[in-house]
A and B are shown apart, each in its own frame.
Chain A
Amino acid sequence: MSSMTLFILFVSIIALLFLFINLIFAPHNPYQEKYSIFECGFHSFLGQNRTQFGVKFFIFALVYLLLDLEILLTFPFAVSEYVNNIYGLIILLGFITIITIGFVYELGKSALKIDSRQVITMTRFNYSSTIEYLGKI
């Protein structure tokens, strides 16, 4: 058994060991108030959870998938730079150009912008500061 396999096993065993120590040795006396989910100031009730969420998060994940794939596909060029000299470089530049055009399109469509109520009120006073510029994009 190689040390790598043993390392993965060892880390998993440590984590599970801690979990079982806690489950065995800790006191456990539940009542209804303790085991309802957290709510501030009043009782929690059913049906308020697992609601819809902003589609922005999903779009971020989609764009992440594309761009991360692009970066990971560029790694082999970085490793074999010396071998495929100008040939690889031109292909890399073309590849990055195509991806960048798509990325600029996403930015222009403001697909990666999260709306904030604070920015709308703040930009009335002053357009110069960098932070507000970031918020506007």
Chain B
Amino acid sequence: MYYSIIISLIEVVLVLVPALLGIAYVTIAERKTMASMQRRLGPNFVGYYGLLQAFADALKLLLKEYVAPTQANIILFFLGPVITLIFSLLGYAVIPYGPSLAINDFSLGIYYILAVSSLATYGILLAGWSANSKYAFLGSLRSTAQLISYELVLSSAILLVIMLTGSLNLSVNIESQRAIWNIFPLLPVFIIFFIGSVAETNRAPFDLAEAESELVSGFMTEHAAVVFVFFFLAEYGSIVLMCILTSILFLGGYLSINSLDVFNFFYSILFNIGFIDLNFFNIFYYFYKEIFVNNSIIEGLIYGLTIGLKSSILIFLFIWVRASFPRIRFDQLMAFCWTVLLPLLFALIVLLPCILYSYNILPVNVL
């Protein structure tokens, strides 16, 4: 009995510690990338090439004085950030890093992620309201309105993906992309989903909650020390989660190009032009297959590296967007969501099942 608890404890640590380390390194990656885009050096003193900067910052903020304003509701003031952090980290439980390789790969994984990411809004609302400062209050109102509006965009984009794959399980979603990645039939939805996820994580062109020139720092004006770390970690945690989710839903998740297919392609070309000796090539092919393809450890490594590479490219895209575009106004942001993205998505929700039905390609749900 204890054995199973120890196994699940190891599983949890194996998922959570790399996730937290990844979040820490995404912060440095953002600072370094933005520095390169603005022709500066960025952090380069702590550790080699600035690699320990995130840990130095975290340690500093852990040991800073906490400030709880006298007019604030103290319990809600500390509870809000904790809720935000917890709910932004909970989503990692259902991410499959390999075929069905998640903490709990259950059949309603997408519902779970949607529910957990929408609960994080409560933390922002509580933190902004309880601080009893007008800047924090206005920031939290804006942020909540933005988050719930763009959550509609995200969930209807996910609905369109589900219509193609026919299952709410993330592993089934990935496996049904073995034929073709969802980005090819659903390119407009991918773009809309990307815009929605930038807005959902309060990132740069849409970071109206913390527009420094109007509201000092948005809903976290009064929050200092570790409470600020919670918001920081929650923001970057949800960025990483959103990027992993995008790569799962649209870019095939852990699926990479099968190396044997590439091998066979070149093999057939070389063989057809009579360039190559068949015996030599067969021996080479045999060893390649034994070492790289039939080896489960290397297969698993390639799965993990693939999903990591895809989500890293998406995270780079997030940072690139932040370095490139100016912030837009709040009424433009809301008008863009409600009058451009949502009608477009409703039209697609009507169009897509009609196309699927008329070409008789409705997906079969095997699970």
Contacts and interface: CB of A to CB of B under 8 A. Distances in A.
Interface of chain B, main secondary structure? helix
A23 B66 contact: yes
Contacts of A78: 159, 162-163, 166, 353
Contacts, number: 213
Nearest to B129: A50
A63 B254 CA distance: 37
A25 B329 CA distance: 41
Ranked 8 nearest A-B pairs via Cβ: A22-B226, A3-B8, A114-B331, A37-B133, A78-B162, A4-B104, A64-B148, A116-B331
Given A49-B134, A64-B149, A15 B82 contact: yes
B349 A96 contact: yes
Interface stretch (B42-50, B68-76, B293-301): B68-76
Contacts of A38: 133, 135, 216, 221-222
Interface of B: 5, 8-9, 11-13, 15-16, 62-72, 78, 82, 85-86, 89-90, 93, 103-104, 111, 131-135, 137-138, 141-142, 144-145, 148-149, 151-152, 155-156, 159, 162-163, 166-168, 216, 221-222, 225-227, 229-230, 329-332, 334-336, 338-340, 342-343, 346, 349-350, 353-354, 356-357, 362-365
A98 interface: no
B259 to A, nearest CB: 32
Nearest to A30: B67
A107 B141 contact: no
Contacts of B133: 37-38, 44, 49
7 contacts: A6-B5, A8-B90, A18-B226, A22-B62, A22-B64, A82-B166, A114-B335
Q: Which of B145, B149, B159 has the most C-beta atoms of chain A within 10 angstroms of its own C-beta?
A: B145
B335 to A, nearest CB: 4
B328 to A, nearest CB: 8
A124 to B, nearest CB: 17
Given A25-B63, A135-B335, A51 B134 contact: yes
A126 interface: no
Interface in A66-102: 67-68, 71-72, 74-75, 77-83, 85-86, 89, 92-93, 96, 100
A17 B167 CA distance: 38
Given A26-B63, A80-B365, A37 B104 contact: no
A48 B69 CA distance: 15
Contacts of B354: 89, 93
Contacts of A21: 62, 226
B338 A75 contact: no
Given A6-B9, A26-B225, A71-B155, A116 B329 contact: yes
Contact of B166 (A25, A48, A79): A79
A29 interface: yes
Given A1-B5, A68-B148, A112-B338, 5 more contacts: A19-B82, A38-B222, A57-B141, A68-B155, A85-B362
A135 B362 contact: no
Contacts of B104: 2-4, 7
Nearest to B72: A37
Contacts of B350: 93, 96
A107 B346 contact: no
A75 B168 contact: yes
A54 B330 CA distance: 13
Given A10-B16, A35-B70, A60-B148, A3 B103 contact: yes
B308 to A, nearest CB: 20
A34 interface: yes
Q: Which of A15, A28, A67, A137 has the most C-beta atoms of chain B within 10 angstroms of its own C-beta?
A: A15
B162 A79 contact: yes
